[in-house]
Amino acid sequence: SSKYVLSQVHPMWQGPLAVPGGDRQSPVDIVVRASVFDSELKPLVNNYDPDTCQQIWNNGYSFLVEYDDTTDKSTLKGGPLQDKFRLCQFHFHWGESNAWGSEHTVDRKLFPAELHLVHWNSDKYSLFEEAVMEDNGLAVIGVFLKVGKRHEGLQKLVDALPAIRHKDSVVEFNRFDPACLLPSNTDDYWTYHGSLTTPPLTESVTWIIMKQHIEVSHDQLAVFRSLLFTSAEEDVQKSMVNNFRVQQPLCGRTVRSSFS
């Protein structure tokens, strides 16, 4: 019905969204030839407990799958990280078409969507809220999505989306292992120091971008696009699409690679 209007640019994304004096903002374009191989970079070690999965909700920017991060049950270490990090949530960014949607790009190549697994440094801080303000407070794993074969592990999550169509809707979501969303090879990645890509845009993130993408089906991605930015009460509904930030200047930062 004509009730749903495709949003071209959601208000949140209109401004430059630059942080005054921000010189380590995200996302960025990864120029492969300019990335520097670092043999000190170790393989990632993730240890996720599916039982710590709690809920899935529409926050008006994306949909988040949230984990119980009150204990060290779902953790990430290794890679470029010196400390142990706790998984607190994962979410995605996508476009209105398969031609764009990712936040990071590789030699300017856009992907239809990008997964972010958000972790915080539980060796140094006791709450996410603290870590999000600190230089080495967060670690976010980025995984590119390509349209191809259906992703069996993702389907459980896709099936829950119609229940959280509107902003601020929440449903219980249990026993989901986020490791099923990681590519088979997690040893090859790029890493750089950056920021959150939506407000508060704090420069507290060690980004770990997987070289290998995962595949999801066109129909699975179409369900992402059936979500709405707007709450049930609003009379003009806006499709949740193009929820990605524009690329930010590297400002002299080096992107390191774990592979040569």
Ligand X SMILES: NS(=O)(=O)c1ccc(-n2ccn(-c3ccc(F)cc3F)c2=O)cc1
Is residue 167 involved in binding ligand X (CB under 6 A)? no
Closest separation between CB of residue 104 and Zn ion, Å? 10
Report d(CA 113, CA 110) in Å as an integer: 8
Amino acid symbol at 169: S
Choose, by CB under 6 A, the member of 200, 219, 222, 234 that binds ligand X. Answer: 200
Taking Cα atoms as reference points, which of 23, 80, 16, 28 lies closest to residue 203? 23
- The bridge status of strand 36-37 relative to strand 256-257 is parallel
Strand partners, 92: 115
Which listed range, 7-15, 127-135, 174-182, 227-235, lies at the site for ligand X (CB under 6 A)? 127-135
Report d(CA 126, CA 222) in Å as an integer: 38
Is residue 129 involved in binding ligand X (CB under 6 A)? yes
Amino acid symbol at 153: G
Is residue 116 involved in binding Zn ion (CB under 5 A)? yes
Report d(CA 44, CA 40) in Å as an integer: 12
From Zn ion, ligand X, none, which one binds at residue 132 (CB under 5 to 8 Å depending on kind)? Answer: ligand X
Closest separation between CB of residue 1 and Zn ion, Å? 31
Is residue 208 involved in binding ligand X (CB under 6 A)? no
From ligand X, Zn ion, none, which one binds at residue 240 (CB under 5 to 8 Å depending on kind)? Answer: none
Report d(CA 220, CA 213) in Å as an integer: 16
Which listed range, 6-14, 46-54, 112-120, 147-155, lies at the site for Zn ion (CB under 5 A)? 112-120
Is residue 196 involved in binding ligand X (CB under 6 A)? yes
